[in-house]
Copies of this chain bind each other. A is one copy, B any other.
Amino acid sequence: MKIGIDAMGGDFAPHEVLKGVKDYLQEAGDAAQVVLIGDEEKLNALLAGADLPQASYSVVHAPQVIDMHEHPTKALKEKPQSSIAVGFGALAKGHTDAFISAGNTGAMLVGALYSLKTIEGVLRPTISTIIPKEAGQTGLLLDVGLNSDCKPEQLNQFAIMGSVYAQNILGINKPRVALLNIGEEEGKGNLLAQATYPLLKENKHINFVGNAEGRDIFIDKADVLVCDGFTGNIVLKMAESLFEITERKGIKHEYFDLFNFENYGGTPVLGINKPVIIGHGISKAKAFKNMLALAQKMIEKDIMQKLAAELKP
């Protein structure tokens, strides 16, 4: 398998990307080949002293870079030689089997939605985040910002996608799916939650356990939490900021280490027909290494095929 990675994406690219690739290859052996996408001259200069196993990587030239604050659609159009545009091109043509970038998140989302095909039957792709639980387990929250306004049918599909992902990637058997809501009983919540509940209850593809409230997010009530992307993004950013605050205040505890999102790598875009993983702008070697391992796992488990099977119209 070939995993494409944007060598120029992220605040600490390309150095930390290359360090992450090296660490990944040391563990992965010859399970995968990494395709570094970026400025060939710059990369080759760095690779000369990087001591990477030559047979395990290749470089694809992409002389342009989309900056963090560029307008996604405009930048993708005006920079066809950017690492993100070239990365998606390689993936769409089948030259690679997955694509990873910690660059401009908007450009990654636009690229994923427009360069690749949506899985048949999927209304809208989604992005998720890993949620650390009090007892040390991890759960999944989705959507976390790709779909800020949602329809009940979309949340119902997110539940399936989250469930397949939790089962195959997080290794959770029969993941418990809950609707993030503001009350425990059926009938509670805003109009969206009220209309979504009966769909989830009837959904035979998932193990629905009812509503979960804000206070249940960090405890072990459910494995997959479903919500609209507005709510999910607020929850995600709040959880991330919490880790940063404890770091700044020097509050050390293994519980807060679980909130270090670098441990989880990036977030995959679910619902498209190829694995795409979006990293945080502040990703360092560890995050890149974990994203590469995640891409490998998604390919090995053939997640896209499993999603397609569950979502077939």
Contact = CB atoms under 8 A, between A and B. Distances in A.
Interface of A: 134, 145, 148-149, 180, 182, 189-191, 193, 213-219, 228-231, 233-242, 244-245, 248-249, 251, 253, 255
Contacts of A249: 134, 253, 255
The 9 closest A-B pairs by CB, nearest first: A214-B237, A215-B241, A148-B190, A214-B234, A214-B238, A215-B237, A182-B233, A190-B230, A149-B190
A170 B209 CA distance: 41
Contacts of A145: 182
Nearest to A234: B214
B190 A228 contact: yes
A182 B245 contact: no
A136 to B, nearest CB: 11
B218 A242 contact: yes
A224 B218 CA distance: 26
A276 to B, nearest CB: 20
A228 B190 CA distance: 10
Contact of A251 (B191, B234, B255): B255
Nearest to A236: B214
A229 B149 contact: no
A94 to B, nearest CB: 34
A245 B136 CA distance: 12
A139 to B, nearest CB: 14
Contacts of A190: 148-149, 228-230
B255 A182 contact: no
Contacts of A239: 214
B231 A213 contact: no
Given A213-B233, A238-B238, 5 more contacts: A134-B249, A182-B237, A215-B238, A215-B241, A251-B251
A235 B214 contact: yes
A242 B236 CA distance: 14
B193 A218 contact: no
Contact of A213 (B234, B248, B251): B234
Contacts of A134: 245, 248-249
Counting chain B CB atoms within 10 Å of each CB, which of A134, A149, A238 scores highest? Answer: A238
